[in-house]
Structure 1
Amino acid sequence: MLIIPAEKAVDWKRPPWATLTLMLLCFLVFVFYQGEDRQKLQNAVDAYLDADLQRLEAPVYEDYLQRRIRFDGEQDRVQELQDFRSLQEQNAEEWVAVTLMMDRPFYQYLRDNQDVLWAPRDQAYWQQHREEIEQDFISRLSARQMGLVPADIKLYTLISYQFLHGGWGHIIGNLIFLFLLGFTVEKALGPGRFLLSYLLCGALSGLVFAAVSAGSGTPLVGASGSISGLMGMYVAIYGLQKIRFFYFLGVYFNYFRAPALAMLPVWLGKEIYDYWFAGATGVAYMAHVGGLAAGAALVWAFGRSWLQVQETFFEPEEDVIDNRFATSYGQAMASLGRMEFKLAEKQFQALREHYPDRPILLEHLYQLAKLRPDLPAYRERARELMNETQSRQQTERMTEVWREYLSKGESFQPLDAEDHNRVLFASLKRQDLSLAEKAFERLRATGNTLLADEACRLLIQEFEKLQMEPKARHYRQLQGG
């Protein structure tokens, strides 16, 4: 059974850079650093077989497994025993060597009981050659150097183990889940706090695993504890809000909605159940438990301080916004169609308050205000639209609104000098001197001598550039007049 949250969609306009960086680091570490493990392991196998250590260890290993099955009740190891015997029957010496070398609890068992397992001569031989293989090869494997070993915890391994993986299947699965959960939590917290909380969840997850596996020499590797932390943070961020979850059962999958926090005990219960009853799968279930608990606890403890969710996180997704806009816009247009202009104006105004970046709404409000050019509202809408179109560098539309207002509303509510000056500047920029002169005349009529003198100066410069001396002389006469 697989259940993962799927409430948010990726916004590629603002990529989750911290999440993508973590994924890239895991991949690079796996390919370039851990890629050397294969040769190191092969060298260890060659040395093991050259020393003929399987002659001493293989019989002990069978007895070791039988004891674990019979006296410790580890029935899941029956299959391990059968597989090991099958390897021996097939003379798969290299796989036998790998099995014996990499079973760390078995190696510890040999060290603790070597004096009763073999005669003194065989014991000395085993100790000499096995120790050489451990020091020269096994200890240099990435998992031994940078993995989290419960029996020998080093501070740096609480971080480094999160970037190691046990194989292609392991890393691909973790990277998929890291992306699916990471981009949402990163969007909620911001890249810096996301990265810090991700590493902290991984460290706490590792400590829980080490506490449960105290004394174990088997290293923990992988990002699954950190990713479980993201899952715990994800549901804690949403709290009791109903969000969408994806689930997969065998060959069937679908979505359902539920309060986010309702899934936390489900996930915790599943991991604890698997820890006790799933057998030796190689999955660090208690690391997952630690990560889930750590992630949720961090949000609950610090969600009002350094882990506070960004305000923009809970804004609706673009497709939801578009659907809402389309519905309300359709209602306003329907009011226009019925000639209910007052109602339509209220609806467009309400839309504009919620969607100020939609220029079409101001256009509609301008057209409605134009129905009564004698009222001040027409002047205000015209000035708003002129300002809006200028900011969007739509100067043709700006001058069109200006001309239209001069013919319909100027006699009722004159425009300010700044409005005419805006048109003059835009006209000069487009080399439309005829329109610039018209704007100057309107500007001069407002009585604002400061702006009029500056406009005169600009017109003189333009006409001088074009060697139109009569025009330049005309504006020199007007300047300061």
Structure 2
Amino acid sequence: MLIIPAENAVNWKRPPWVTLGLIMACLLVFLFYQGGDDRKFEAALEDYLESDLLALEAPAYEDYLQREIQFEGSQQRVLELQEFQQLQENEEALWQAVTLLLDREFYQYLQQNRDLIWAPAQRNLWLERRSAIEEQWISRMSAYQLGLVPAELSLYTLITYQFLHGGWGHIIGNLLFLFLLGFTVEKALGPGRFLVAYLVCGALSGLVFTAFSMGSQVPLVGASGSISGLMGMYVAIYGLQRIRFFYFLGVYFNYFRAPAIAMLPVWLGKEIYDYWFAGATGIAYMAHAGGLAAGAGLVWLLGQSWLQVKDEFFEPEQEEQDEQFTKAYGQAMASLGRMEFDLARRQFEALRERYPERPVLLEHLYQLAKLRPDLDSYRMRAEEMMADAIARRQPEQMVDVWQEYLSKGEAYHPLAPEAHNRVLFASLKRHDFKAAEKAFERMRAKAEPDMVNEACRLLVAEFEKLQMEPKARHYRQLLQVHG
């Protein structure tokens, strides 16, 4: 049974560049670095068969499997012994060689017990020929150079193993899950922190695998530990929120909703159960469990500091916001149509609080406030409209609002001198001298002398440019009076 979170869709207007970069890096490593592994292994097989190592190792391999069966009672080893004996009966030397070269635990057993298995002459022959194959071919394969080998743990392989894969099925499956989970976690954390958290989860996953495979020569490769870390981070980010999950069972698939964090013990339990009871499947179950725990743990430990989720992550996508806005806007307009003005005002105020960047909402609030010009709310909305018009570089709209307010609300609640001064500046730029002079007179009555003097200088300069000397002289005289 497969269960994966499916709460978000990709926003291609803001692509998950780090996730896509990790996918590309894994593909390039697989194609161009690991692409030579098949040739190296084929050369190793050829040398192995030519060196007559099969005759030396095949009997030892049967003894090795029988010992494992005797001491561990492993059913998997019974099957391996039966398969190898079948290969011997069919005289399939090539597949016998493949089996012996790929079983790294058997090679480790031979190194530790060679003095007991062979006589000195045979031992020296085996050591010379097998060591040459190991050094020339096997050790140069990607899994042994950059894979995570528990018996030979090094810091750099805790990172490099995450970019290696064992075949096309392995890499396609991992990269699909990396994309499905990565774009959401990257959106939540931001590109830089996402990349660091992804690599740290992979490293911690590798350490957990090593702890349960101490002394093993079998290399760990693949991004599945890091991807399990993404799954842990995903559900920890949402916590108790109910999110959507996709599940696949046989040929049946569907969606269900559940508290996100409820899936963490389910996933962990499955990996631990499979580790103990699934047998030798070649899947690193404890690496997956370690990644899950690491991802959730990082979010819980650092979620209030370095690994804090970006505020905008929980905001709806633009399409969903537009849909929500349209619905709420329609309800407010319906209230207007029924002449329920107080209700409409509250609805538009709530909308403007959520969508402050939409000027149409301020326009509606201004029109509603204009119904009661005797209230101070009309002055406040008029000043907001004027400021908004200036911000959107629409001075003519500002002047229109100002003139309308003078006729309706100025008698009740006069505008501040600064508002008249802004109209004066805007009118001069538009060469609307009539409005500019009107604004000057309104401003002059209550403004500080410095503001009046500056306005006089501007008016003098403009009228001198137009060679309107009587007007210029009038404002020079006012300048002297106020100066």
TM-score bin, normalised by smaller chain? 0.7 to 0.9
The C-alpha deviation readout for 1:278-332, integer Å capped at 9, x for no partner, is 2222110011111112222333334344434344443444455444433432322
Distance 1:293 1:16 in 2: 24
> How far 1:198 sits from its partner (Å)?
2.5
The C-alpha deviation readout for 1:225-245, integer Å capped at 9, x for no partner, is 122122222222332222221
* Matching residue of 1:202: 202
Distance 1:414 1:290 in 2: 69
Alpha carbons of structure 1 residues 94 and 363: separation in structure 2 relative to 1, 3 Å: farther
Residue 253 of structure 1 aligns to a residue whose secondary structure is strand
> How far 1:55 sits from its partner (Å)?
4.0
Alpha carbons of structure 1 residues 359 and 80: separation in structure 2 relative to 1, 3 Å: farther
Residue 261 of structure 2 aligns to a residue whose secondary structure is helix
Alpha carbons of structure 1 residues 385 and 126: separation in structure 2 relative to 1, 3 Å: same
The C-alpha deviation readout for 1:172-231, integer Å capped at 9, x for no partner, is 222222232233333333444433332222222112111111111001111211221222
* Matching residue of 1:252: 252
* Matching residue of 2:224: 224
- Structure 1 window deviating more from structure 2 (468-477 vs 131-140): it is 468-477
The one-letter amino acid of 1:202's match is G
Unaligned runs of 5+ in 1: none
Alpha carbons of structure 1 residues 89 and 205: separation in structure 2 relative to 1, 3 Å: same
Alpha carbons of structure 1 residues 325 and 65: separation in structure 2 relative to 1, 3 Å: same
- Structure 1 window deviating more from structure 2 (18-27 vs 127-136): it is 18-27
> How far 1:368 sits from its partner (Å)?
1.0
Q: How many residues align?
A: 475
- Give the alignment's Cα RMSD to 1 decimal: 3.3
- Structure 1 window deviating more from structure 2 (362-371 vs 96-105): it is 96-105
Distance 1:440 1:113 in 2: 106
TM-score by length of 2: 0.85
1:108 and 2:130 are equivalent in the alignment: no
- Structure 1 window deviating more from structure 2 (203-212 vs 326-335): it is 326-335
Distance 1:127 1:239 in 2: 56
> How far 1:62 sits from its partner (Å)?
5.4
Check whether the contact 1:420–1:440 (CA below 8 A) recurs between aligned residues. no
Distance 2:17 2:196 in 1: 14
* Matching residue of 1:442: 439
* Matching residue of 1:51: 51
> How far 1:439 sits from its partner (Å)?
2.9
The C-alpha deviation readout for 1:90-146, integer Å capped at 9, x for no partner, is 887665544332221121233234345445434322211110111122112221122
Check whether the contact 2:235–2:261 (CA below 8 A) recurs between aligned residues. yes
Distance 1:102 1:444 in 2: 95
> How far 1:257 sits from its partner (Å)?
1.0
The one-letter amino acid of 2:9's match is A
Residue 206 of structure 1 aligns to a residue whose secondary structure is helix
> How far 1:14 sits from its partner (Å)?
4.4
The one-letter amino acid of 1:253's match is F
Distance 1:355 1:151 in 2: 59
The C-alpha deviation readout for 1:38-89, integer Å capped at 9, x for no partner, is 3433433343344343343345445655665676444345665676677778
- Structure 1 window deviating more from structure 2 (37-46 vs 162-171): it is 37-46
The C-alpha deviation readout for 1:324-363, integer Å capped at 9, x for no partner, is 4334323222211111112211221122223322222111
Q: Following superposition of structure 1 onto structure 2, how do residues 29-428 of structure 1 map, counting pairs within 5 Å?
A: 29-58=29-58, 60-61=60-61, 64-65=64-65, 68=68, 72-76=72-76, 96-426=96-426
Check whether the contact 1:209–1:290 (CA below 8 A) recurs between aligned residues. yes
> How far 1:5 sits from its partner (Å)?
1.5
> How far 1:372 sits from its partner (Å)?
2.7
Alpha carbons of structure 1 residues 230 and 457: separation in structure 2 relative to 1, 3 Å: same
Distance 2:320 2:202 in 1: 34
* Matching residue of 2:475: 478
Check whether the contact 1:425–1:436 (CA below 8 A) recurs between aligned residues. no
The one-letter amino acid of 2:438's match is E
> How far 1:369 sits from its partner (Å)?
1.5
Distance 1:64 1:476 in 2: 114
Residue 446 of structure 1 aligns to a residue whose secondary structure is helix
The one-letter amino acid of 1:265's match is P
Check whether the contact 1:174–1:223 (CA below 8 A) recurs between aligned residues. yes
Alpha carbons of structure 1 residues 457 and 139: separation in structure 2 relative to 1, 3 Å: farther
TM-score by length of 1: 0.86
> How far 1:147 sits from its partner (Å)?
1.3
Residue 248 of structure 1 aligns to a residue whose secondary structure is strand
Check whether the contact 1:271–1:288 (CA below 8 A) recurs between aligned residues. yes
The one-letter amino acid of 2:288's match is H
> How far 1:364 sits from its partner (Å)?
0.8
Alpha carbons of structure 1 residues 384 and 93: separation in structure 2 relative to 1, 3 Å: farther
- Structure 1 window deviating more from structure 2 (189-198 vs 265-274): it is 189-198
Distance 2:379 2:361 in 1: 17
The C-alpha deviation readout for 1:258-297, integer Å capped at 9, x for no partner, is 1222211211111122222322221100111111122223
Check whether the contact 1:440–1:452 (CA below 8 A) recurs between aligned residues. no
The one-letter amino acid of 2:356's match is P
Alpha carbons of structure 1 residues 165 and 441: separation in structure 2 relative to 1, 3 Å: same
Distance 1:136 1:391 in 2: 72
Residue 307 of structure 1 aligns to a residue whose secondary structure is coil
Identity rate, percent: 67
Unaligned runs of 5+ in 2: none
Check whether the contact 2:421–2:443 (CA below 8 A) recurs between aligned residues. no
- Structure 1 window deviating more from structure 2 (168-177 vs 447-456): it is 447-456
